Structure formats: C-alpha cells, structure tokens
Structure 1
Amino acid sequence: MVNEKDERILMDSKEDINEKLKVMLLALGIGILFNYFFIWDSIGISGVIFNAVVIGGAIWTIYPKSNINKKLSWIFLIPIAFLSLTYCIYNNEVLRYINTILIPLLIVSYVIVIRYENIKDINLYFLEMIFSRIFYLSFALTPKFFDAIKAMINSRKSPKENSTKKNILKGLLISVPLLFVIVGLLTSADMMFKYYVENIGNIFLNLNIWSFIGHTIIIMTVTLYMFGFLWSFKYEEKKYKHIEESKASVNWEPVTIITILFVICIVYLLFSIIQFSYLYGGGTSALPKGFSHSEYARKGFFELILVTLINFTILLLSMKLCNKSNVKINKIANISYSLLIIFTFNMLFSANYKMNLYEKAFGYTRLRIFVHVFMLLLGVLLIIVLIGIWNKKIHILKCAVIASSIIYIALNFMNVDKIIARNNIARYNETKKIDIGYIETLSYDAAPEVIKLLDVDDVRIRSEIEEYIKYEKSLIKNSNDHWYEFNYYKKDFLTLKVSH
C-alpha cells in the first residue's frame, strides 16, 4: 500500500518543470515584496496589496483545481478584504496585532476551501487542517524548493550543453574589448554619462553588507515558507471524508443532563431574583452596607463573565454528547438548554450593567470597550445556539463563524480609540477628571476628539495636548516616508492645528 509520503514523491515526479519554476518565482516575488513592504516600515496600504498578491498567487498556483465561486469561501474572503483595508485607515495597535495573526489564518482557510471540493462546511477537522497547513506542512515541504532546483538543472543537461556554454563564453570574450572601446567613446561624448560611469563604484562602496545579509535571510525565509505553503496545495486531501464519517463514541443519557441543568438553573434563578431586587431596581441604597456601585462592579464583573463561559461550555457539551434516541425526553432537554440560555442572558446583562457603572466611576479604556463587544458576541452566539436547539437545520458552527466575523469587522471599523477619547472627554466635562497620560497612549484615530481638549479651561491639559500633538507629528514626518505606508488617520493627524 502506498503511503502519503510516497504519493507526494510520485506527484512531484509527474509535475512539470515549468510549474515548479512558476511556484518558485511566485514564492520569491512574495518574499521580496514582504521585505520591501514590512521590514522597518509601518503597514499601510501595503497590507491590502500584499494580501491580494498572496491570494492571487495561490489561486494562480492551484488553477484549474480551484473553485472561486464556492459559497463557503466568501465567509473568509470578505473578512480578509475588510480587515486588510483597516491597515490603511486605522492605527489601533491591539487590533492591528490581532489582525496580523487573524488574516493569515483567514487566507489559509480561503485557499483550502476553494482548493478542495470535498470541504463544504466548517468543522473541527477543518480547523485542524488550517493549523496543520500553517505550522507543519508548509515547513515540511520547504526542502522541495531545492529539489525543484536540482530537477531543473538535471533536466537541462543535453548533448548540446557543452557547445552552448562554449558559444556563450566566446560571445562574452569578444564583447569585453568592444565594451571598453564603446564606453570610452560614450564617456567622451557625454559628460553626464561619464559622471555616472565614474561613480558607479560608489553603489557597492556604500552598500551595508550586514543589512544586505539580513534582508537576504528574510527574503529567503519567506520564499522557502511560501513555496512550501503553495506547493502543499498540489496534493489531494483524502482524510476529510473518513473523519466526517466517524461519530462521537460518548453518549450521555438525557435524564442525567437534564438533572445537571435543573440543579444549575435553580441556583441561577435565585441569583436572578437577588439581582433584580437590588442591582436593577433598588438603586445605590439597596446595595449591602459599605459597598459603592463602582466597588460592586469591579468585584463581580469578571466572575460573571467566567460563569457565562462555563454555561456556554456546558451547553455545547450537553448538546453534543446527549443521546437523542428518545424524542420526548429530548424535548425536555431542549427546554433545559433554553432555560440555561435565558439565565445566561441575565448574567451577560448584569455584567454589562456592572461594566457601565465601572466606566462611569473610572473612565473608558480599550479593554473595557473590547469587553462590551465580547459580551455582545456571547449574546449573539447564545441566540444562534437557542435557534439551533429548536431548528436542527441551522448549522451552529458556521453561523457562529459568520456572526463572529461580522462583529469583529464592526469592531475594527467603529474606531475604538475615537469612542474612548469622546467618552472620557464627556466625562471630564462633567467631573473634571481625566487621565491625560492614557489619552496620549491612544492611536492617531482618536485625534478628531483629542484636539477638543485644546479648548478646555485647564492650562496644564492644553499645554500637554499641544506638546503631544507636536511630538507625534514629528514622529510621523520622520518615519512614514514611503507611499505604501499610507494611512488615513496618520495623514489626517498632520493637519491638526496647534498654537505656536
């Protein structure tokens, strides 16, 4: 029986030399582009161009074994387009770091989907394929690059090879003395040409050898990795169907699960009654003695989020492992799942309420805004699960991926830093409290709101903001000097007016 390694060797031997050369040159081009765009430079419009080149190159490599019209592929292609676009608009460092990790995952997912026709849905094995392709297969296939070079050299050996080499050498020997004569005449005829010929050596004298070596290492590393990644799609994926046919070996009795959920729901019911009695309706006077709303929010928020995540895990495991043979008991189990979701909604609402109290007391930060969005995502996912409980036609995982993508894209485009600055400035107008140090750590995206602090009465705040704007302007002017680093809010920041 032929193993997977032998199959790859057989496929490689059948692959045309020109096809290998095409993938090698494409990988080299991506390596050079990566070095040109991203080494010591900020990511701007370069992010859009680079990602488009990688996707376009991958499609070119796997053609005609690709189906770009596959509906599932749009779940990944649309987020790639929107998230890539954020690089030339926004500057939120946290989201940029996340996108730098997320976009490659989405690109790999997209290429896998359009390459393999048997992948028609999102499941656990699909996720395994993504990480295997990134962290194992692409590295494992990098030696194929050198095998391809060796194959090309061997393929070009022929009886006429020695004769061709002799003819080339003869041509070079004849052309050298001719070049001396021609260049001498041209330098006499044109002073500018003479100047450039005489100074051509300065190019090599001014070359930083260590910088050259560093860039060469980066280019070759990216080239080898990209070759391994692109070449991996030459192979067929055969394990998918076998994995899909396997079923969960563990089946819990519905009565056991219903009992567990019933006990948990009783506790959550008591918790909800207490919540409504003093948190939502009672006001500050209803809190236990010695507690302020801000202290209460700070002490309970993260615990509620943790409980929500535990509930979500219990819910998914129960639905996955529950024995569904008994229809009547299964309906009771569905009711139990629904009750757990309702109580979990109350916890999310409570956690959001606590966070609002905390923000009013201590101000707004990125983490607190992100937490609000995360709670919104959990709420949407719970709704999807609730619908999926009663409608088995709903594919919960696929809907969850789509919902998560929409919310995350919205987070990228809502301009988090601008919202933080606006809310903190509004809070300052009410309380005269503001953390200027934190405001100055926000990205250039917050500039349209930050500049409003130049109109406040506090001279110290006005002075700090003026110095901050002048300093950041000088940084942008000294660092962003390439067209591919273009970013809308950086450009807009340079137009801010400060007093002299």
Structure 2
Amino acid sequence: MKKDLQQSDVLFFIVCFVLGILAEESFFRGQIGISTIVFIVVMYGVFFWRFYGFPFANQRLGYLVAICIWLLSISFYISNNMFFYVLNIMVVPVLVLFHFLLITRPKLLPWTSFSFVKYAFGRMIEAIRFDFRFSASFLKVFKGDNQKIMVWKKVLIGIILSLPVLGIVLYLLSTADDNFKQIVGNLPEWIHQVKPETVFRFFVIIGYTFAFFGVLYVLGQKKMTVIEKNNSFSIPLDGVIALTVLVLMNAVYLLFTIVQFQYFFGGILQESYTYAQYARKGFFELLAVSIINLSLTVSILSGVKQTGALLKKWLQISLSLLILTSGVILVSAFLRMYLYEKAYGFTFTRVLAHSFMIFLVVIFAYTLVKIWFEKLSLFHFYFISALLYYTGINVVDLDRLVVQQNLVRYEQTGKIDLQYLNHLSYTGVLGLIQLYEKNPDLPGLKEILRERKREVTWENRTWQSANLKHQEASAALKKLTD
C-alpha cells in the first residue's frame, strides 16, 4: 500500500461505495427478484472496467461459469421456487467470487489443485488487510501536518463563533415564515426518528463497499505463487486392501442385483401399488448406497497410485463391476420413486430426486471411462457437470413439470392435492387456475383462488421483488370472476 492515497484509489473506492449502495438496495428491500440481474450487470461492469487490459486466465471455463452466474441471476426473476431461492442466495455469491479468482489467478496455477484453495484463502486475507491499511491511510488525510491541523482548528473556531449569530438569524427567519419555522422545528424530531434499521443499512453498505474494494483491488495485483509438487487431495491407499474391499462389496451388490432383476422382469411391482410404502422406504437407502459407491470409487482411483500390472487390472475390473452394479441400484431407486409418485402424486422433492439420479448416471458413466483412461480428470468433469446440472434445474423450472404431471394424473385418476399446488409457488397457482378453467366445480378450488386473489390485490411489492411468475399469476387471478 502506498503511503499516500492516490486519486485513482479514492475514485475506485467511491465506485465501490456506489456499488455497495446498489447491493443494499437490491438485496435488503424485500424479496429478491429482478434486482439481482440489475446488480450483476452493474457489478460485472465495474469488474471489467477495473480489469481493463488484464491478462485473464482460463477464459473458456471462465465464460462457462459467467454464463451460469447470469442464468442463476435471471432465475430470481423467471421462477419463484423457494428452495432454489434460498440456495441461490448462497450459491451465486460463491460462484462470483470463484469466477473472479479463476480468471485473475496466475496462469501456471491449476485451479483443480489444492494450491488454488490456499491461493483463494490467501487472497481473501490480503483483501481484508488491504482494507485496514487503506482505512489507516485515509485517516492520515485528516491528521495531516501541523499546518493542516491549524486549518481544521480555525474551521472549528469559526463554527463555534457562528453559532450565536445562526441562532438569532434562525429565530428571526422562523418568525417571518411559518413554513420555515416548521422545517427548523422538525429537525430535532427528524434526528430522533433515525431508526436502528437505518444504522444497520448504513453498516451493510459499508461492509459491501470494503468487500468489493478489497477483493477487486487485491485481485488486480499480480502475485508470484509457488506451485507445490504434491497437490493431491487424496490419501494414499494400498492396492491389495482396496481390492479386498471391492471384492466384498461387489459380492453383496451382485446378490442385490440378482434380486432386483427378478422385480424388473418378473412383473411383481407392476401388478399393483401395494409396494408404495416399500418403494418410499427403499429409495433413500439405495440413493445413499450409490453415493457411497461413487465416493469409494473416487477414493480408490485417486488414492491407489503404484501397483503391479496384474493388481491394476483386477482393480479396474472390480471398480467397473462396482460402477455397473451401482447403475442397477440407481435404476431400482428410480423405479421405486416412480411407483411412489404413481400412488401419491408428484412433488418438487420427488422430481428433484429423479433429476439427481439422472445426474448420477452421467457421473457414473464418466467415472467408468476414467477407470480405463487414467489421464482424464475427475474433478474437472465433476465440477463442470455439477455446475451445468444445478444451473439447468434452475432454468428448466421443475415446479412447472410437477404441476403438469399432477394435472395429467388428475385427468387419469381424479386425484389431486390442491393445497400442495397452492403452496408450491406461483407456478402452482397458475396450475390451479388452469384446473379451475376446466373444472370450476372442484370442491375447495374456488375458495383457494379467491384467497390468493385477495392477497395479490392488497399486496405492495417493490421493484426489487419483480418476478415473472408472480406477474403472470397476479394477472390471471385478477381476471377471474368470483
């Protein structure tokens, strides 16, 4: 940090202060909606202005992460699912920080290494230290030399001497004009009305300001980073021990697979829905087993390094068998959840579980290829696929799929959970309106829509909370006649 403040530093601090005000306005004024998009646009504008001409690293992955960040930000406006709403409040800032660190890091530092994690934490600590040093340098301006101190003393004396004159003048002006008297008289009341919320919002703005200022300033400074040779996350494993574990687990999974194939081809579960409770109980256990198998596979692939040719071949065969049996387990879990949905209807959690199983199938398929082609990177693929999966399920709008499937199920069985759709999101309300247009005499439906119409009629939403699904549902509800 330079001893004296530079004009560019002060200007950048002012820009960050404005960005801090926008952050507080965007995220602390009610439910978040379109304000996220506005903030992201301005923040990235400040970022690229600050880093104009900077030699960015890993630009292809950087573009992918940036696109996902923008899509997740847009999801605050286009959808209204509270699960993703809460999750994205945490995910989006983490992704933004990761994106900034990714493209400003030293080009020789692999982002998949443990050194990158240490580099990231080191940069954050540097940002905090820089903020303290900048604050100290800023305060020095007010200290100054003896001549500046004398100037400030004279200003203070001038203020004190002017107080009696100001008191007389204010009294005379207040007597001459009642409106002016009212304004002056309300000044103490205005000071008294400063609420704790105002103080809290001020400190939020200051916090955001120094966060943006410190991080963006430090990331713009090039840093020499020592790259360690041993950057592995894995713990060394013995090949014989790993093979023994795999043989025992595969024996159990093969027995389980034989039993499952009796269900698949014997038609036992397809005859009736009497196994719905069994399906519900077994689903989560099977999903947990699949995740355990994936973790075991990754641990062995990354932990077992030096083995003989024969032992290596047996490990590959055993790992492949573990992956294949895990596939059978996933199919079994998928069918169990499908049966449960047929018996009790579709919910967001059940559809999300289905999508997660499809994601696991992709992960297992790539891991199977990795077993035989060692040069492939697991972490690189896992991160990108997880990022694409999470962004995809945000953009697809799973609530809409849930509503459509429940409406189809109602046409087939006459069964539907109106209260669940009512509490799902505004997508659920749109589904209820669609159902009402075809079945206006459905018991309880009119009362639910009447209550929702009353809510949207009297609610007062800020511009920050603007949401497309809310707007569509509000417009549709207001068109309904009681």
Distance 1:379 1:15 in 2: 58
- Label 1:419 to 1:466 Cα distance change in 2 as closer, same or farther (>3 A): same
Q: Which runs of 5+ in 1 are unaligned?
A: 1-11, 189-193
The partner residue of 2:377 within 378, 388, 395 is: 395
Alpha-carbon contact 2:19-2:43 (below 8 Å) kept:
yes
User: How much does 1:319 deviate?
Assistant: 0.6
The 8 Å contact of residues 34 and 74 in structure 2, kept in 1 or not, is answered as yes
Shift of 1:138: 5.2
Instruction: Please tell me the residue identity of whatever aligns with 2:45.
Output: G
Matching residue of 1:469:
452
418-427 vs 81-90, greater mean Cα deviation: 418-427
Deviations 1:265-308 (A, max 9, x none): 12111111110102453223889xxx922022012111101111
Deviates more, 1:342-351 or 1:251-260: 251-260
Partners of 1:333 and 1:364 in 2: CA distance:
41
Identity over the aligned pairs, expressed in percent? Answer: 26
1:77 corresponds in structure 2 to 66
Distance in 1 (alpha carbons) for counterparts of 2:201 and 2:234: 52
How far the C-alpha of 1:82 sits from its partner, in A, is 0.8
How many angstroms does 1:450 deviate by?
Answer: 2.1
Single out whichever of 461-470 and 104-113 deviates more from structure 2.
461-470
Secondary structure of the residue aligned to 1:146 is helix
Partner of 1:479: helix, strand, or coil? coil
Q: Please say if 1:450 is aligned against 2:432.
A: yes
Q: Is the 8 A contact 2:56 2:104 kept in 1?
A: yes
Give the aligned partner of residue 321 of structure 1: 303
For residues 4 and 52 of structure 2, the distance between their equivalents in structure 1, rounded to whole angstroms, comes to 14
What's the offset of the Cα at 1:346? 0.9
1:113 and 1:120 in contact (8 A); partners too: no
Match of 1:25 in 2: 14
How far residue 235 of structure 1 moved from its aligned partner, in angstroms, is 5.5
Aligned length: 469
Rate the CA distance shift 1:345–1:495 in 2: closer, same or farther, 3 A.
same
Relative distance call for 1:267 and 1:94 in structure 2 (3 A) is same
1:479 equivalent in structure 2: 460
Between the aligned partners of 1:459 and 1:36, the Cα distance in structure 2 is 43
Q: What is the CA RMSD across the aligned residues, in angstroms?
A: 3.7
2:339 alignment partner, one of 357, 361, 369: 357
Q: Distance in 1 between matches of 2:11 and 2:422?
A: 49
* Alignment correspondent of 1:7: none
Match for residue 434 of structure 1? Answer: 416
Aligned counterpart, 1:9: none
Q: CA separation of 1:255/1:56 partners in 2, compared to 1, >3 Å: closer, same or farther?
A: same
Aligned with 2:245 (options 260, 263, 284): 260
TM-score, L = length of structure 2: 0.84
> One-letter code of the match for 1:486?
A
Matching residue of 2:258? 273
Cα distance in structure 1, aligned partners of 2:98 and 2:336: 38
Counterpart code for 1:470 = K
What's the counterpart of residue 43 of structure 1?
32
1:324-403 aligned within 5 A: 324-403=306-385
- Alpha-carbon distance in 2 for matches of 1:416, 1:312: 26
Query: Secondary structure of the residue that 1:44 maps to in structure 2?
Result: coil
| Residue equivalent to 1:230 | 216
Normalising by structure 1, report the TM-score: 0.81
Q: Which runs of 5+ in 2 are unaligned?
A: none
Distance 1:448 1:355 in 2: 26
1:284–1:384 CA distance, 2 compared to 1 (3 A):
closer
Offset at 1:421?
Answer: 1.7
Change (3 A) 1:108 1:195: farther
Does residue 121 (structure 1) correspond to residue 101 (structure 2)? The answer is no
Q: Relative contact order (C-alpha < 8 Å, sep 6+): which is higher?
A: 2
